[in-house]
Amino acid sequence: MRLYTCTGAPSPRRVTAFVAEKGMAIETVEVDLRSGEHLSDEFQARSPECTVPVLDLDGGECLWNTVAIRQYLEEIQPEPALLGRDAAERARITQWVSWLEHNGFLAAAEAFRNAAAGMKDHALPGRRPVPQIEALAERGRLRFGFFLEDLDRRLADSAHVAGPEFSVADLDAFIVLEFGLRVTKLSIEPWEQLSAWHQRMAERPSLRD
Amino acid sequence: MRLYTCTGAPSPRRVTAFVAEKGMAIETVEVDLRSGEHLSDEFQARSPECTVPVLDLDGGECLWNTVAIRQYLEEIQPEPALLGRDAAERARITQWVSWLEHNGFLAAAEAFRNAAAGMKDHALPGRRPVPQIEALAERGRLRFGFFLEDLDRRLADSAHVAGPEFSVADLDAFIVLEFGLRVTKLSIEPWEQLSAWHQRMAERPSLRD
């Protein structure tokens, strides 16, 4: 088994932090996103969207979706459980991970990809040229602000993102905050519950990169 | 257990078709999206994003995410298995469902929400006003065309969307096609593999509405 990753990029970190929490040892291969290595024919054969992370299961099959990779790893090494311990908890964690993707990661990605000079014609992942939309960069920043407000409210009701227990949703929330705050230049300082939770999470070795 | 749904809308159909495949009997409640019932305080208490479907588990807890609802239903009634039968198959199905969400449903939703007269200031789900972006409606249409091309290529390699067996990914692909083709006025006719698969799927009672 081999994990294709890129240190510093948010999506592969969603897997590497998960692997660290599990205490698993998986061989990793660095993919150079700056030079466009992920857009090569060779890499696209592993990952049709030309994205990292990719988990090569050996025998030719690759998983190229973050949530799918973690689901697979949880099944082959259930402890410590990061995706829930019963049907309702597992569904709740799936729900919050999806919420973080749509409201956090996508908002930050919209803000980043539609504004960064290096992302010209790469407003979406993949090889097809997709031009930037300035209004979408602005909207991404606006949405990320809504996201901070909503996440703060959630953490007023719940010790962790998906419920009383720590889960993969906390990893994702921490990772998207680091990415989105950098991109949008927003701050979590006005958000009391979010700031307190963030401080607790920053102590986890898996998130200390 | 009670399912809040809206007949004709694509997201709740992802659950009602799943329930039909399982042969489950779940009490349903129609939510009137046209009159804005989903934007009420009462409904938001069940679904923070003001979206359907919602599964009320009784005892006060609601699931308001399509994928989470189906994961829960699969756990309480495993047969027929629609989310896979082993770790690799389950991960592969998760991966393709996510791919369909990001490349199919989101593309169609961008095309629809940023152009429809009734969606003015509702370019995103939820209660906060979000103005339409004309260029994003156009990009949604473009992306949906890429999606048809990619799905056709996938179905040249694979009898079903997520692999050799029928799964929930086929339900989602069928549902997003019906929604996205209506919105974009594109056609699957030029896509041979996609058309053949679509014809087979249209025979399933769960997709005959």
Question: Domain check: are A71 and A98 in the same one?
Answer: no
Out of B57, B91, B150, the one facing A71 most closely (by C-beta) is B91
**Closest to A112 (Cα-Cα) out of A122, A97, A102:** A122
Phi and psi torsions of B30, nearest 5°: -80, 135
B81 located within any domain: no
Antiparallel, parallel or unpaired: β B27-30 and B2-5? parallel
Integer Cα distance of A66 and B98 in angstroms: 10
Flag if B91 and A98 touch (Cβ within 8 Å): no
End-to-end CA, chain B: 22
B195 located within any domain: yes
Residue A47's domain comprises 2-76
Task: Extract long-range pairs of A39-42: CB within 8 Å, 24+ residues apart.
Answer: A39/A127
A81 located within any domain: no
B174 located within any domain: yes
Question: Domain check: are A102 and A188 in the same one?
Answer: yes
Last residue of a domain, one of B76, B101, B136: B76
What value of ipTM does the predicted structure carry? 0.97
Q: Report the residue of chain B nearest A56, measured CA to CA.
A: B88
A195 located within any domain: yes
| Structural domains in chain B (count) | 2
* Any B CB within 8 A of A150 CB: yes
Question: Domain check: are A63 and A97 in the same one?
Answer: no
Question: Domain check: are A96 and A124 in the same one?
Answer: yes
* Any B CB within 8 A of A25 CB: no
Question: Domain check: are A61 and A156 in the same one?
Answer: no
User: Which tens digit of pLDDT belongs to each residue from B171-201?
Assistant: 999 999 999 999 999 999 999 999 999 999 9
B60 located within any domain: yes
Question: Domain check: are B150 and B202 in the same one?
Answer: yes
Angle between helices A66-76 and B87-100 (to 10 degrees): 160
Question: Domain check: are A62 and A113 in the same one?
Answer: no
Q: Report the residue of chain B nearest A54, measured CA to CA.
A: B95
In this structure, the number of other CB atoms found within 10 A of the CB of residue B156 comes to 12
Question: Domain check: are B110 and B185 in the same one?
Answer: yes
Q: In the sheet that A27-30 helps form, which strands lie side by side, from edge to edge? A: A27-30, A2-5, A54-56, A62-63
pLDDT at A29: 97
The CATH number given to whatever domain includes residue B11 is 3.40.30.10
* Any A CB within 8 A of B156 CB: no
B150 contact residues in A (CB cutoff 8 A): 48
pLDDT at B60: 84
Integer Cα distance of A84 and B184 in angstroms: 39
- CA-to-CA separations, A60 to A3, A63, B45, B106, in angstroms, rounded: 13, 10, 46, 30
Last residue of a domain, one of B53, B76, B99: B76
Out of B69, B72, B98, the one facing A67 most closely (by C-beta) is B98
Alpha helices (H) along A65-208: 66-76, 87-100, 106-113, 134-157, 168-184, 192-201
pLDDT at A209: 66
Question: Domain check: are B42 and B123 in the same one?
Answer: no
* Strand runs labelled E in chain B: 2-5, 27-30, 54-56, 62-63
pLDDT at B58: 87
> A130 in helix, strand or coil?
strand
Integer Cα distance of B87 and A77 in angstroms: 11
The CATH number given to whatever domain includes residue B167 is 1.20.1050.10
Last residue of a domain, one of B42, B76, B110: B76
Q: In the sheet that B54-56 helps form, which strands lie side by side, from edge to edge? A: B27-30, B2-5, B54-56, B62-63
pTM: 0.97
Contacts of A111 (CB under 8 A, 6+ apart): A137, A140, A141, A144, A180, A183, A184
pLDDT at B75: 98
**What's the distance, CA A42 to chain centroid?**
24
Question: Domain check: are B98 and B58 in the same one?
Answer: no
User: Which tens digit of pLDDT belongs to each residue from B107-131?
Assistant: 999 999 999 999 999 999 999 999 9
Question: Domain check: are A51 and A112 in the same one?
Answer: no
Integer Cα distance of A82 and A78 in angstroms: 8
**Stretches in chain A below the pLDDT threshold 70:** 209
Cis before residue B80, ω within 30 degrees of 0?
yes
B121 located within any domain: yes
- Find the largest Cα–Cα distance for chain B: 50
Does the pLDDT of residue B209 top 70, yes or no? no
* Residue A90 Cα, gap to closest chain B Cα (Å): 8
Q: Report the residue of chain B nearest A130, measured CA to CA.
A: B139
User: Which tens digit of pLDDT belongs to each residue from A86-107?
Assistant: 999 999 999 999 999 999 999 9
User: Which tens digit of pLDDT belongs to each residue from B142-174?
Assistant: 999 999 999 999 999 999 999 999 999 999 999
User: Which tens digit of pLDDT belongs to each residue from B22-67?
Assistant: 999 999 999 999 899 999 999 999 999 999 999 999 888 999 999 9
Question: Domain check: are A101 and A198 in the same one?
Answer: yes
A82 located within any domain: no
Task: Locate A39 and state its tokens.
Answer: 């857009």
Burial class (CB in 10 A: 0-12, 13-18, 19+), B202: exposed
Out of B64, B76, B124, the one facing A95 most closely (by C-beta) is B64
